[in-house]
Structure 1
Amino acid sequence: MQIVLFYHSLASDWNHGNAHFLRGTVKELLKRGHDVKVYEPENGWSLSNLVRDYGKAKSREYKEYYPTLDASFYDPEAPDFDGMLSGVDLVIVHEWNRHELVKTIGEKKNEYGYKLMFHDTHHRAVSDPESLAEYDFSNYDGALVFGEVIKNIYQREKWINHVWKWHEAADADLFAPQPATNKEGDLVWIGNWGDDERTEELMEFLIRPVKELGLKAKVYGVRYPEEALTALKDAGIEYGGWLPNYKVPEVFARYKVTVHVPRRHYVELLPGIPTIRPFEAMSCGIPLISSPWRDVEGLFTEGEDYLTARDGNEMKRQLQKVLLDEELAKRLSENGRQTILANHTCTHRVNELEEIVKELGIDSTLIYPLQINSLGI
């Protein structure tokens, strides 16, 4: 297939979690013989912040880890739609795009003849439904959404006629257990502070337990306000700033345990959607302890793939258990990795995408180009 993707950024994962899944998915599509172009706006918010803080050279470093990937840029004020859309079979537009771009690509569909899908990996369906309702989806063939609860909202609101659940997943080749190494500390947490969406939770499930247990810990991420940095310092937690996502596996390998602290929207309004961080942690084989969230879709097995802590005191107990019990830590590590390999890799998600586009009516010779070529057809 000739596939065109309009996303916020392939080049930058600075406060941009969708780049994680996007990179792994595009890599898998390219492996299968598809021609894939990923377009992102020039001077996009995430990439601009990355370049401002770390320089242009750092914005190209992702290619050392993903040599087959290459971001393409367009002028958001004057997009060359003819150049981007001619001869394309499938177009996917991510939700982090301007309303007018979403509308215009829909209007161009009949002119260029592609199948068109919207991809939603955010909580706006519950946190800002008015914004989603303003999108013009009238020419879209369907939507890919990252959880059952989001799918139900789309169907209830009748935003798009056909909706498929498409969870994020790990690039299990890159996010894999690293060779044994000496541990630098007990606990590492990788995540952005955000917009006060989990401040209380981070204090209860991360900062206070580390302080009270006297653990050697390090935190990576961006957009930490002064009060957050002060709290980390008071707890004796080292702050590492932005960590490129492709370096996460080597960092996980240097610590004994990590935690997952979902944002409030995912706990209260979006049960069953864990975001990509737990997928990547389990794929790397680091034991994971989570603050409460409801795995209503049965993606993982609580107590086997990961542990849960109902409050800060239980988080302390769970951390002590994992740090003191090598057999428990090993079991969590192995079970988590096996669950990812069995169900939640980018290979699985591209398999699902192929079945979805088949339902859209795209010819099998385009969906499975390498298989067709091997048959000499």
Structure 2
Amino acid sequence: MSINITTRFRVTVAPAIALIVFSLVSGCSSDNAPATAAVPKVGVVTLKAQSQVLQTELAGRTQAFMVAQVRPQVGGLVLRRLFIEGSEVKAGQVLYELDPAPYRAALAQSEASLAKSRASFKAAQVTANRTAELAEFEAVSRQDNDDAQASVQTAAADVKLAEAALEIARINLTYTRIVAPISGRIETSAVTPGALVVANQEAVLTTIQQLDPLYVDVTQSTTELLRLQRELAAGTLRSAAAGEADMALRLEDGSLYNQTGRLKFSGASVNESTGTVTLRAEIANPERQLLPGMYVRGVLEQARDDQAILVPQQAVTRSASGNTSVLLVVDGKIEQRQITVGRVVDHQWWVTSGLAAGERVVVEGGQKVRPGAVVSVVDDADLPQVSMTKEG
């Protein structure tokens, strides 16, 4: 009976002990085995050459081509206003009518004074002729003859004075009809019929602004101005005429204006406090879309590169010394390379040297790898698309 118990114990316990020992040995061997390191993944963008325009944007504001402040040249009571506020008016168009009655009376008085002066002149001539004849026979003294001749000259001068007074009266009468000195858009009126105005008063009656063409005054540093002038002289800056350059206009909402202007470099002066110059451009405004005082940006096309290389900004790092570099994936390994960049074009650096089309630049995961590390590549087709829109 005891033999059977022993045999049963061995059959039951032995496999369990063997299982426990195998588990302990397996656990120890698992702890001592070296772990396999995971290969880091990086996102890359494959560079492509593309046509790119080098542009400069200059901040500025629009100005009216011509501005005329309308004031009365004679005083009087305003009888009528003959324009619609905010409308287009033509040069010579009557804007206001003043009460002409006083000036018509003054004109009639001047006409009468002229007639009187002419009559006095004729009488003085007759007297002088008779005195001259009598003087030949010594019937009158020489002094009387001289006085008679002087009276003729005085009467002639009085006629000229009367003629001038008559002309002034006529001019003043025409000034009662206040006309537009230039063509353009007229603003609101500061007076209404019934108002009393005086000659050459300080307050304007209204203002007229010529809006087509329009001026655009832009500011630029003196350093940039000299560079633009050199590029204009070298022919790399698109030129409209001698001393001028083509300029597009970007409006406040970011859209481009549908007319091209001409930026003129002549007559620029330097602001001593800011070191900037104000340059004036002229641009057509047939639809009156532009108004004086609007903030705009003048866009100058300086050069065109048909093999430009653009790199996303997040791919470029700058050292404390100012050197710029990128990480590349070459033959499955990370390579660091110094590059030279120009300006920013829509969140991308325009690379002037150091990179070529077809190379793969790391844009994601670069902070986790070092030069020489083996990496797994996530191609740009699997990354969020980087905008390649040109800077305008």
Query: Same fold per TM (> 0.5)?
Result: no
Q: Which has the higher strand share?
A: 2
TM-score, normalization by structure 1: 0.23
Q: Which has the higher helix share?
A: 1
Which is greater in Rg?
A: 2
Relative contact order: is structure 1 or structure 2 higher (C-alpha 8 Å, sep ≥ 6)?
2
TM-score, normalization by structure 2: 0.23
